[in-house]
Amino acid sequence: MKQKVIVLQIRFSGEHDTVYVCQTFEIAHRIIREWFKDSVEDINHLGIGEIEEYLWERDIGYWDISEEVVICE
């Protein structure tokens, strides 16, 4: 059986990636907000794209989200 999962690779600038495998993009977005809550004021009032831009412009942190297929047998 094939199943889609969301893979989130996330890090603070200069650090190594931490990888999460999530069931949905919404779960991945919650993890992103939790990770960077101390770095972005009013993080819960910003869209995920706005958070990414803010962090990238200030070289605070980065993430990559992809949808992958896993085979479960």
Query: What are the domain boundaries of the chain?
Result: 2-71
Burial (CB count within 10 angstroms: exposed 0-12, middle 13-18, buried 19+), residue 19: exposed
Contact 62, 11 (CB under 8 A): yes
- Residue 72 reports pLDDT greater than 90: no
| 16: phi then psi, degrees, rounded to nearest 5 | -85, 155
3-state secondary structure 36-67: CCCCCCCHHHCCHHHHHHHHHHCCCEEEEEEE
The one-letter amino acid at 13:
S
**Res 45: pLDDT:** 95
- Residue 13 reports pLDDT greater than 90: yes
Q: Which of 25-29, 61-65, 68-72 has the lowest mean pLDDT?
A: 68-72
- What's this model's pTM, rounded to 2 decimal places? 0.90
